[in-house]
Amino acid sequence: MADTGLVETLLRRVEKVDGGVDSQDVATSLGVDHQAIVGAVKSLQALGDVISAEQRSSKHWELTGEGCEIAEQGSHEARVVSSIPEEGMPQSQLMKLAFGKVGFSKAMSNKWIRLDKGHEGGPRIFKTVESLEDLVRDKLLLVQKGQASQLEEKEKNELKKRKLLSEVTVKSYWITKGSCFSTTITKQETELTPEMIASGSWKEKKFKPYNFEAMGVAPDCGHLHPLMKVRTQFRQIFLEMGFTEMPTNNFIESSFWNFDSLFQPQQHPARDQHDTFFLSDPAQAHEFPQDYLERVRKVHSEGGFGSQGYKYDWKIEEAQKNILRTHTTAVSARMLYKLAQQEKFTPVKYFSIDRVFRNETLDATHLAEFHQIEGVVADYGLTLGDLMGILHQFFNKLGITKLRFKPAYNPYTEPSMEVFSYHEGLKKWVELGNSGVFRPEMLLPMGLPEGVTVIAWGLSLERPTMIKYGINNIRELVGHKVNLQMVYDSPVCRLDS
Amino acid sequence: MPTVSVKRDLLFHALGRTYTDEEFDELCFEFGLELDEITSEKDIISREQGDTKAEGASDVILYKIDVPANRYDLLCLEGLVRGLQVFKQKMEAPRYRRVSPARGEPQRLVITEETAAVRPHAVAAVLRNITFTLERYDSFIELQEKLHQNVCRKRTLVAIGTHDLDTISGPFTYTAKPPGDIRFKPLNQAKEYTAQELMSLYKTDSHLRHYLHIIEDKPVYPVIYDSNGIVLSMPPIINGDHSKITLNTKNVFIECTATDLTKAKIVLDMMVTMFCEYCEEPFTVEEAEVVYPDGRTCRYPELAYRKETLSADFINRKVGISESTEHIAQLLTKMCLRSEVMSDGEQIEVEIPPTRSDVIHACDIMEDAAMAYGFNNIPRTTPRTYTVANQLPLNKLSELLRQDLAAAGFTEALTFALCSQEDIADKLLKNISETRACHISNPKTAEFQVARTTLLSGLLKTVAANRKMPLPLRLFEISDVVLKDGTKDVGARNNRRLCAVYYNKSPGFEVIHGLMDRVMQLLEVKPGQGDGYHIQAADDSTFFPGRCAEIFACGKSIGRLGVLHPDVINRFELTMPCSALDIDIEPFL
């Protein structure tokens, strides 16, 4: 806060005038430094609308150091004349004076002196006038009195050339009364208090203004994980479409439900040690529905249900091997088997989003575990066109409208289709997931009626999430190496925008 | 998915026209293939070994094409071209015929009973008067390699041997002998080796060492001799040098030994159907006779054509189109499945050629019809299936609790379900035997030794990875752990847990305790004995002595809370006190 006395003096000045005052003028008239007035203006501005101060800049002429000397003692040429006695003075002596050189030439050109070069004892100078008008001094005195405007531009420029005058820019405030003008200053309050509200004193108080440029204080709250937020949205989409959630809370699965029941032959590469995590403890599963298991064995090894089968020696030992499930389709198989055991078939729509495990090579986009999103519809007379239609509706809800389908191979679906969408950013078709119609060799041994078709599709949860949140390395998203700041900062998830 | 690499110009020459990369990509997409990469040998070498090595390598453009894993008939240029030409109706699918030799008896391969112990099956055939060029020869070798990697399951199920028939003389004997008794000069070696020596020789061979395990520990090794005792091959490892085929070979003897006879027949059919077009009489294959130990004889290759009858209605109903019977028959014929409309005008008789071993059910035929129709031409319809959605109660509860835990100021972590034994035992000062953990038999690294039995270690690892974040850290996770459970068919079950940690300069037991109170409030369980919840002091090695309590709700123990033991803090490379809550939420369903 500037000196209160000065502030109040300034306010009284402003009060007295109608149009306002210039801070420079106030400084001059009060005989204080201009910066002190500027300080007073700033502190008054901080109080709100007590005054209004408009910054302006003005140019004016000022004497230089040499100019001041001349205003005081006369111009060099005048001083030359006055220093020469009647009998004259040797030139050499005149030149020794401080103003000698400049004064000599100017006095000569004004014809105020003459030089006798042939004088005995060296060149000698004599005055030629008795009195003179020192115009230079007069002009400078005018400027010094603040009456520079009386001089002509040409005259000022000439004096500037002689380095006697200089033009300076002065910044000042034009101070007028503000809407809350008062000559007394009240102290500013920082915050509203309960006491002020109770007493009503807030009405008289002045409050310090807020800095709206600054960031607020982050709320002290918890955050949901971005991948889980996306999972919630996918769940929501399935629920909106009438799909019922499957119980996928069984990471450990037998090879039977994970592969054999899906008509995936026992020599299939996916059943390799390189691709699948096998368990050493508990190593084997027991208790299979025996008659169903027999039908599965038969369709693999001998065929049946209209199929040639794979014609190999199907081994129960392979089916018993426990693994970490490689897809949630193992659960779909269990659910469809359960459905087939119902007395009367009822159409179903199932979904799940849960973890699956692959013993694969890890890289920036692949981990040993990821979340699979899966949708399954079972009903009489479903077509491949129905599968495409439902996929279209599903992806529409994700904001993806341009789809196309590529024939693909999958041991348990026929037809099988890879789903592609056109990526506007990448300007190309990108694969979104897989889909297909479950094979009769999978469905009929379960006991589902002949005319029932089951269509299904799957995709990973991580991939759309990484695209959505612009994450390149999956480890920054999933697992303990997650960057919590990213979790704190992640926005809400709206998949369709 | 196998990738086949073909020379672009050779492919276009065989297809009788050129395509732009985009056009060819589009054709592949339609046909269920994927033009994976456009490259050249030079590009590949320079990418893998650097520019200097690539100097002088061929810069002929190669197309790398991804082929569906069950389409063995598309694994070489010959097959790809035939498939695409028939698809584009530029040619009719050839008809493959098995023929008897022009003179004399067929070549015989006699299987002895010793093979039963190691690799019991064998089939054989002859390509007579074949003309190789360098390209054809390379493709012939490459197809064997592709088949070995795919349908042959890295030679475990089937191994192929191809021989210059004019260098050997039948009948051939397929037998099995102790490794010490087998001695021959293997392919591209200068001298003879015993089978034992070969096994150690190939230990360091980057290619062959992967197949040694198939017979390594067997008492006898499979071997094929000609009538003069010359070794044709020691399957599934290596052929003999004597009978190797060259560009000048005119007659090829092909044998396939196997542990799976069906696959052996398929592989033999593939080899001969793909290359018999280069025989003097194209698309014919000379039969060979296989004599079994029991005296039975069979002639190969089978080259079986199978007929299936199905209705146009079946295909229309399954695909969701309404095409005429004639058109559907045409579509199938485009896919190398020669089809004819039967007299009733509704049924279609479909002939499945020996090249299409992938067609095992009417649904496979239906798919081919849909592909030929064009997946993207099929109208997209909405099924009328009416269903009411239900959430899984366990997931519904988890979702609700997650929201409220975040509202309570805790941030959600997402940690791995697999971890090391150390994470769930040593680091938590527990003995692995008391964890009820499920163990993985084939982890590539220690990170995947067990399924987690607790969420706590994952949360502590998350804290450790985020030590630079401002304190306090409040984390939670609601997810599944896996426990051994003899009552389940697989011997294990998931268990849904809620775990939270508070990490700060002071232990904050009251914070984690408050969170537990809040969770109980959310679950509508009131404090108190009996139907309510209460905690009581407990001993748990993970926690600081005297700072751990067991939580009881509705008369059941549901978990623990407390201040972690300083040794636990250290083992997770943390420096501050930490309190934790770990409960089972399944009792609240």
Instruction: Sheet with B339-341: list strands edge to edge.
Output: B306-311, B347-352, B339-341
Among the residue ranges A111-125, A208-222, A451-465, B432-446, the one predicted with the least confidence is A111-125
Measure CB to CB from residue A406 to each of B32, B385, B391 and give the nearest one. B32
| Token output for A409 | 């191979």
Chain B 435-494, residues with CB within 8 Å of chain A CB atoms? 438-444, 447-448, 451, 458-459, 461-462, 464-466, 469, 473-474, 476, 480, 482, 484, 488-494
At residue A468 the predicted structure's pLDDT band, cuts being 50, 70 and 90, is: confident
Chain A 295-314, residues with CB within 8 Å of chain B CB atoms? 303, 305-313
Does residue A282 have a cis bond before it (omega within 30 degrees)? yes
Eight-class DSSP state of B215: T
Residues of B within 8 A of A439 (CB-CB) are: 361, 363
Amino acid at B328: I
- For an interface test with B, the pick among A361, A388, A484, A493 (most B C-beta atoms closer than 10 Å) comes out as A484
Report the distance separating Cα B500 and Cα B512, nearest Å: 8
Chain B 502-561, residues with CB within 8 Å of chain A CB atoms? none
Residue B97 backbone dihedrals phi, psi, to 5 degrees:
-125, 140
Indicate the burial class of B445 (C-beta count within 10 angstroms; 0-12, 13-18, 19 or more). Answer: exposed
A428 forms beta bridges with A423
Q: Does A285 touch chain B (CB under 8 A)?
A: yes
| Token output for B436 | 């009820």
Higher-scoring residue by pLDDT: A190, B334? B334
Cβ within 8 Å of residue A6, ≥6 positions away: A32, A36, A37, A40
Tell how far CA A19 is from the center of its chain.
46
Residue labelled with tokens 């990526």: A423
Residue A60 backbone dihedrals phi, psi, to 5 degrees:
-150, 165
Report the distance separating Cα B243 and Cα B220, nearest Å: 23
Q: Which stretches does DSSP call E strand in B85-171?
A: 97-99, 107-111, 121-127, 158-164
| Nearest partner of B150 among B29, B66, B254, judged by Cα | B66
B552 forms beta bridges with B534, B557
pTM summary value: 0.81
Cβ within 8 Å of residue B429, ≥6 positions away: B541, B542, B565, B567, B568
Chain A closest-CA separation from residue B273 CA (Å): 21
Cβ within 8 Å of residue B224, ≥6 positions away: B109, B122, B161, B172, B173, B174, B175, B231, B232, B233, B234, B235, B255, B257
At residue A1 the predicted structure's pLDDT band, cuts being 50, 70 and 90, is: very low
Residues of A within 8 A of B414 (CB-CB) are: 225, 227-228, 477-479, 482
Measure CB to CB from residue B494 to each of A250, A408, A441 and give the nearest one. A250
At residue A447 the predicted structure's pLDDT band, cuts being 50, 70 and 90, is: very high
Report the distance separating Cα B482 and Cα B422, nearest Å: 16
Mean local confidence (pLDDT), B422-432: 95
The pLDDT of residue A52: 81
Which stretch of DSSP H or E encloses residue B398? Answer: helix B393-407
Cβ within 8 Å of residue A475, ≥6 positions away: A364, A367, A481, A482
At residue A419 the predicted structure's pLDDT band, cuts being 50, 70 and 90, is: very high
Measure CB to CB from residue B68 to each of A284, A369, A409 and give the nearest one. A409
CB B570, CB B554: distance < 8 Å: no
Higher-scoring residue by pLDDT: A115, B490? B490
- What does B486-530 look like in DSSP terms, one character per residue? TTSTTSEEEEEEEEEEEESSS--HHHHHHHHHHHHHHTT--BSST
Residue A345 backbone dihedrals phi, psi, to 5 degrees:
-65, 135
Tell how far CA A62 is from the center of its chain.
51
Mean local confidence (pLDDT), A401-412: 92
Cβ within 8 Å of residue B406, ≥6 positions away: A221, A222, A223, A224, B412
Amino acid at B376: N
Share of chain A above pLDDT 90, in %: 45
DSSP 3-state of B305: coil
Instruction: Reply yes or no on whether the pLDDT at B130 is more than 50.
Output: yes
Give per-residue pLDDT as tens, A18-76: 778 888 888 888 888 888 888 888 877 777 777 888 888 877 788 888 888 888 888 88
- For an interface test with A, the pick among B67, B84, B414 (most A C-beta atoms closer than 10 Å) comes out as B414
Share of chain B above pLDDT 90, in %: 91
Residues of B within 8 A of A220 (CB-CB) are: 409
CB B473, CB B463: distance < 8 Å: yes
The size of chain B, in residues, is 589
The pLDDT of residue A86: 79
- What does A168-204 look like in DSSP terms, one character per residue? EEEEEEEEEE-TT--SS-PPEESS--HHHHHHTGGGT
Give per-residue pLDDT as tens, A42-54: 877 777 777 888 8
Mean local confidence (pLDDT), A351-358: 97
CB B289, CB B161: distance < 8 Å: no
With the C-alpha atoms ordered B193, B194, B195, B199, is the resulting torsion angle positive or negative?
Answer: negative
CB B69, CB A407: distance < 8 Å: no
Contact criterion met (CB < 8 Å) for A408 and B441: no
CB neighbours of residue B339 within 10 Å: 24
Mean local confidence (pLDDT), B539-554: 95
Give per-residue pLDDT as tens, A129-173: 877 788 888 888 888 877 777 778 888 888 888 888 888 887 888
Instruction: Reply yes or no on whether the pLDDT at A408 is more than 80.
Output: yes
Residues of B within 8 A of A368 (CB-CB) are: 416, 418, 447-448
CB B551, CB B535: distance < 8 Å: yes
| Nearest partner of A22 among A34, A33, A32, A6, judged by Cα | A34
At residue A284 the predicted structure's pLDDT band, cuts being 50, 70 and 90, is: very high
In order of A101, A133, A160, A168, the CA distances from A140 in angstroms are: 21, 13, 11, 16
| Token output for B52 | 């200097």
The average confidence (pLDDT) of chain A is 88
Give per-residue pLDDT as tens, B340-363: 999 999 999 999 999 999 999 999
Report the distance separating Cα A249 and Cα B557, nearest Å: 22
The pLDDT of residue A423: 82
First vs last C-alpha separation in chain A: 52
| Token output for A23 | 């801070």
CA atoms within 13 A on the CB side of B79: 25
DSSP 3-state of A405: strand
At residue A2 the predicted structure's pLDDT band, cuts being 50, 70 and 90, is: low
Report the distance separating Cα B130 and Cα A375, nearest Å: 52
First vs last C-alpha separation in chain B: 44
Among the residue ranges A59-73, A406-420, B392-406, the one predicted with the least confidence is A59-73
Angle between helices A135-144 and A153-161 (to 10 degrees): 100
| Nearest partner of A479 among B445, B498, B444, B459, judged by Cα | B459
CB A362, CB B447: distance < 8 Å: no
The pLDDT of residue A117: 81
| Nearest partner of B480 among A301, A187, A355, judged by Cα | A355
CB B111, CB B292: distance < 8 Å: yes
Share of chain A above pLDDT 70, in %: 99
Angle between helices A462-469 and A226-240 (to 10 degrees): 120
- Angle (CA) A272 A274 A279, round 5°: 75
